Amino acid sequence: MTSAAVAASGKGHEDENFPVASWLVGATYRQPILAFYRFARAADDVADHPSLAPEQKLALLDRLGDTLSGRGAGDPDAEPLRRVLAERGLSPRHAFDLLEAFRLDVSKRRYASWDELMDYCRLSAAPVGRFVLDLHGEDRAAWRASDPLCAALQVINHLQDCAADYRRLDRVYLPEATLAQHGAGVEMLAAARSAPPLLAAVHDLAGRTAALVADAAPLAGQTANPRLALEIAAIQALAGTLVRRISTRDPLADDVHLGKAAAAIVAGRGVLGGCWSLLTKALRRPGQSAHE
């Protein structure tokens, strides 16, 4: 077993719930973002592989990290990101944080509380937004709004896939404290339809996730690069729509994902709103040129 490619799921950036380096992003940034995505996708596939032993998963994750740091033989899923970081003068910190999250996925199958889940999101989600902001040269003060948005995207995925994660990997991201508060147990995730206590817990978590989306509301307006601001506006629109769907549906029995056409419509509305915000910002600041 020589590289993370042995665990490849075949999933690509176009299969994600949210845009990854879409046409909205400036061309000079797309390949670096896709290199970061390729690295993250490979590590995620390793951690989620149903048949690899834990020690095999950890060895493959270590190989990705060694390639990134230049200490080991090149893994084809990490080498492009290593080159991008070197060319752009960027730190590998965010990628190493992601690796820590995937190492947790190998050994940790339950989360005791919402705070513990947020600690996980600080490793598994926040680094993605921080990398994209750093790549664009944005002020790191924007991390304050980016982190809750990334956490919200992560929790939305957890809520959408809660049954599959349990059945396939015996992994449950729904906090045990929230389940217990509503009288639910993890075994309820095996059913075809959520029992009322489980559904109440899921809707409770959707409400907390909606609060994260609200905390992230200033991010697009704080972003100096206008094309990145539009990408963020699209993602914010998608996150808001998805969390509202989860708040009123059963992820075990109902489709809580958006199809490609519906997602395009929601993202388009977000982009239009972002364009309006950029226009009003420009009118308030006459004489300022936009970043390319």
Answer yes or no: is pLDDT of 291 > 50.
Answer: no
Question: Hey, where are the domains in the chain?
Answer: 20-104, 108-281
pLDDT at 64: 95
Contacts of 221 (CB under 8 A, 6+ apart): 229, 277, 281
What CATH number does the domain located at 108-281 have? 1.10.600.10
pLDDT at 278: 73
pLDDT at 1: 54
pTM of the model as a whole: 0.89
Q: What distance lies between CA 165 and its chain's CA centroid?
A: 16
- Give the Cα separation of 168 and 12 in Å (integer): 20
Average pLDDT along the chain: 90
- Total Cβ atoms within 10 A of residue 210: 17
pLDDT digits (tens, 9 = 90+) for 72-124: 767 899 999 999 999 999 999 999 999 999 999 999 999 999 999 999 999 99
pLDDT at 166: 96
| C-alpha triplet 103, 171, 155: angle, nearest 5° | 85
Answer yes or no: is pLDDT of 276 > 80.
Answer: no
pLDDT digits (tens, 9 = 90+) for 265-274: 988 988 888 8
Instruction: Decide: 252 and 160 in contact? Cβ < 8 Å.
Output: no
pLDDT digits (tens, 9 = 90+) for 187-235: 999 999 999 999 999 999 999 999 999 999 999 999 999 999 999 999 9
pLDDT at 24: 82
Dihedral sign, Cα of residue 132, residue 98, residue 142, residue 116: positive
Answer yes or no: is pLDDT of 290 > 50.
Answer: no
pLDDT at 21: 65
